[in-house]
Structure 1
Amino acid sequence: MTSVLATKQKAWMVFFIGTADGLLMKLAVDRNFKPTCPEILYRESEKRKVFPKIHLDQVDQNHVYLQLKNKIERVPVSRCSTHRNVRACLSAQDPLCVWCVSEDSCTFEDYCTDSEWLSIPDEAQQEMISHRVVKVSSGMVKVLIQTHLTVQQKVQSNFTCEFSSNSSQICRQQGLSAQFPQCTCILIDTLLTDGNQLLLTDQSNVIT
């Protein structure tokens, strides 16, 4: 390791690390100091070392500049656009990328023109969605679905849930609610089975 640049993105710290053999690596660490998998952003063909200073682009902050023996490279801080759908975008665990609803693409937050976006939460999560089943005092069974995402305010207001099975509705009419980031379903007469499906939707995206 020959150089380090640290930046902050919401509750995350993002480290850019230059090496003696010409690599630029990125490592994101959540608020509990849990790291994501490191990523190689740049590889120098002749393996020349990265000089001690790495600079963040002060205009858009979406690029860094690193100096090698006889050149300066401008490198994007992330490859958001390589993720082709919302699941791939958020599963990458990159705090610098958001899923832009109107553009239907993975990009930087300031590139999302209408500011409707979804991104990963403040803590590293293995899954975007988790669930648990509890028995309430009346003897009925309640299913609680939690989504682990950070979303822009307008996307929160469009948050809905749909519980369905192969044959009929499975939630009691008064037992279904959705308020970001949680959905609740009180089952009519059966637990969820493998044939059932959960849909979390906003106006233009579906996460299954």
Structure 2
Amino acid sequence: MGCDGGMGSLADRGLKTRDWAEDARNDGSVTCGFTGLNSCCCADEDAWLERSSSGFAGLRGQPKGFCWARSLTSTVYHKNLVKLLGIRLETNVPLLVYEFIPNGTLYHHIHDKRSTVLCSWKNCLRIASEATLALEYLHSLVDPPVIHSNVKSLNILLDKKHSAKVSDFKASVLISPGKTHIADRVRGTIGYLDPKYLTTGELTMKCDTYSFGVVLVELLTREMPTQ
């Protein structure tokens, strides 16, 4: 198996991973919010694949976002963050294997009128609180702290029990407490971006706070952030 160090949990899956790799090459994948990276659902109910859309030759050829997502998600752990299970490096398309989150995105449940998950205010409050705990962990308990940089309802997934799992760390930045990061290019999603960050490129933890505030308004009003 082509697992990167410390990812023994994937080795136990053996030939299944080979099947996932073949499926991932051929399926119609859904873009995951970052140029050059895609995600796809696999047949195994416990895993989710994320792949680079371009081939690579060796580790040095991996897209920057892929390498960063691999590095970050293999070192942080919280019950409300999507868990990285392993890495597949033997194929022309590198793969990250995440735990499978079966109930889709918070965005789907907010805007699909057929969904009943958010009909209960208790559920709304719980999901918002769980996402808050994940961001608090990234900002306050990881050393150095992590700025997610792309907080939005599409990146908050719901598991079997409809608990929140924050995902997609390809735009994330490590930053020293109290420091400011000046981005070479603005990353994120229009409608959720902090206006100050959008105009100056100055990235702080407050940018995640602003974006999450937009998610809360979206959750309360059921309106699209761009409206």
| TM-score with structure 2 setting the length | 0.25
Larger proportion of strand: 1
Superposition TM-score, scaled by structure 1 size: 0.27
Question: RCO greater where, 1 or 2, for CA within 8 Å and sep 6 or more?
Answer: 2
Name the structure with the higher helix share: 2
Of structures 1 and 2, the larger Rg is shown by 1
